[in-house]
Amino acid sequence: METDVTHKTLAAFLSSPALAVNPYREVTDLEFKLIRLFAECGCLNRSLSLKLVSYINPTFDGKMLSLYISAKDAERNRRTIGKPAKLIRKLDPTISESDLENFSVWFKDCTLANDGLVLKTATDADTFASVYKMDQAAKSDPNLGHDRKSLAASCMRYDFSHLPYHPAYIYGSGDFTLGWIENSQGKLAARVVVCTRINKDGLTCFVPAPIYTNSNVAADMLDAWMDQEKAKATDQEKHTWLNAKLLRIETDDGLLAPYFDRDSSVKDNGDFLVVSRLGDIELSSTHGTVSDYEYHCEHCGCGLNEYDAYWGNDEVYCDSCFTDTFTYCDNCQEYDANENFTHVENHGHICSSCVSCDSDFVQSVSGDIYHIDDCTYIESENEFYPLSEEGNTWFTSDVDQEPYSIDDQAKLPLWFPDVMTRDQAIESGHWTLTTKKETVWYSPRTRNFGLANRLGYYTTNIVETWTLKPWLEWNGYEIVNNQLDLFEDA
């Protein structure tokens, strides 16, 4: 239910002639979390939550949350800084403690990612490789664009264990410098590669690639460092990486190569790869190598020719990785990712698409998936029961030949051959039902009562006893009325 408090707060923002927000700007992670918080707890719908969060303009302020509590504060540009739960509770006191706690935990993880940030630099190949493979700090709302890209989404963030070195290793030629930011936990918050080549005249350039970051604070630190170092460069006119050298390392899959964000063509002079406008090699692959192979496996990165490649979900795989990742569906005769398969009793593995779209597959009362031909539908329960479970979970009544849940069966004496439901037994007029409570030992492992073992517990069980009414008897073929026989003899 939408609350009056948040509606009044939003109404005040909307009615202020001095305030306006850009509806097309990118929503930060922090804003998105708050939009979900307000929408999912029922304070506002998703559209109104977006408007409110746009006006309160939440940001990180060290380990605290900063925002506009009211329209008047926004008009005066007076932000309130404090603990996240406390500030959000001011905006709407009806938000549950559990929702506030979950948001506070997420907020703390983000601020911890920016705790104790330290700038480091290196030029050697081993450090380039190790930094690229570092564990990353949590994302904390980085503002991304042309010069700042997502560290968490970088195609070079993997360890590339199938290669002898990480692709970034080739930066260690001496013509490049790596700048990076670590937090107090030793996790990577941001990194940038800078061309610092010394030309034939002894002049040093300083030309950076985009910053890859999970943190605005860390990216700002790298920007400040780069501004400082750029001012020291003696070749201020240099704006490209042309003529910079990269280590030339051959692997079984081709030449080792990272993905380049700029000046991506290189020449192979036999000793080094040299950045060149006329280069015949493009460092635009995300697989860690460049080669004559037409494709590379999305999973292990190995090189593949046309006849060796397998396609799945619009991606290419080698035979081994494809077999490990995909399964063949016998129903639709298509391959799909392993996680999209459901085990269907007596039919093996069927893809989830077939299970959800094909009416021939149903969910049984136990939750397992069966083909409809392997089940019986019990109308009174509105459930499907496996045919193989007849006598255990369901039975067929001899009265109307319809299936019923075993829970509805009348436990008639063993000498009586017919089976029926309790209601049918009572409606027949032949049987008397008596019940009594009995304390028994129940074993969950064996699902049996009365088995005295340690893996169980005492429980109360209702014991039913069915007996023929006194004037009736079973003659071996049918139930007969003794009273009628007496009248006939008389």
Average pLDDT of the chain, as a whole number: 83
pLDDT tens figures, 34-85: 887 777 766 667 777 788 888 888 887 777 888 888 888 888 889 998 888 8
28 near 56, Cβ under 8 Å? Answer: no
Give the mean pLDDT of 271-295.
81
Instruction: Report the range out of 307-316, 318-327, 447-456 with the highest average pLDDT.
Output: 318-327
What single string gives the DSSP state of each residue in 114-172? TTT-EEEEE-SHHHHHHHHTSPBPPPB----SSSEEESTT-TT-S--TTSSS-GGGGGT
> 31 vs 71, 142, 165, CA distance in Å?
18, 12, 39
Q: Which long-range contacts (CB under 8 A, 24 or more apart) does 273-278 make?
A: 273/170, 273/245, 273/246, 273/247, 273/248, 274/243, 274/244, 274/245, 274/246, 275/240, 275/241, 275/242, 275/243, 275/244, 275/245, 275/246, 276/242, 276/243, 277/242
Which residue, among 260, 300, 242, has the nearest Cα to 170 in the 3D structure?
260
Distance CA 85, CA 100 (A): 6
Tell me the three state secondary structure of residue 353.
Answer: helix
**Token pair belonging to 250:** 């051959």
Domains of the chain plus CATH, in order, are 4-113 (no CATH), 118-290 (3.40.630), 295-326 (no CATH), 331-405 (no CATH), 410-481 (no CATH)
What single string gives the DSSP state of each residue in 123-139? -SHHHHHHHHTSPBPPP
Which residue, among 275, 303, 273, 309, has the nearest Cα to 291 in the 3D structure?
303
Distance CA 19, CA 370 (A): 59
Lowest mean pLDDT among 17-26, 96-105, 226-235, 360-369: 17-26
Distance CA 160, CA 158 (A): 6
Tell me the three state secondary structure of residue 51.
Answer: helix
Share of the chain above pLDDT 90, in %: 21
CA 226 to chain centroid: 37
Q: What pLDDT band is residue 1 in, cutting at 50, 70 and 90?
A: very low
Q: List Cβ neighbours of 135 (8 Å cut-off, separation of 6 or more).
A: 186, 187, 188
H or E element at residue 99:
helix 97-113
pLDDT tens figures, 387-440: 888 888 899 998 999 999 988 888 888 888 889 998 998 898 888 888 888 776
Burial class (CB in 10 A: 0-12, 13-18, 19+), 85: middle
**pTM of the model as a whole:** 0.48
Phi, psi dihedral angles at 291 (to 5 degrees):
-160, -175
Distance CA 143, CA 150 (A): 9
Strands 148-150 and 211-213: parallel
Distance CA 172, CA 177 (A): 8
Give residue 392's pLDDT: 87
Angle at 269 between CA 267 and CA 274, to 5 degrees: 45
Residue 209 has pLDDT above 80, yes or no: yes
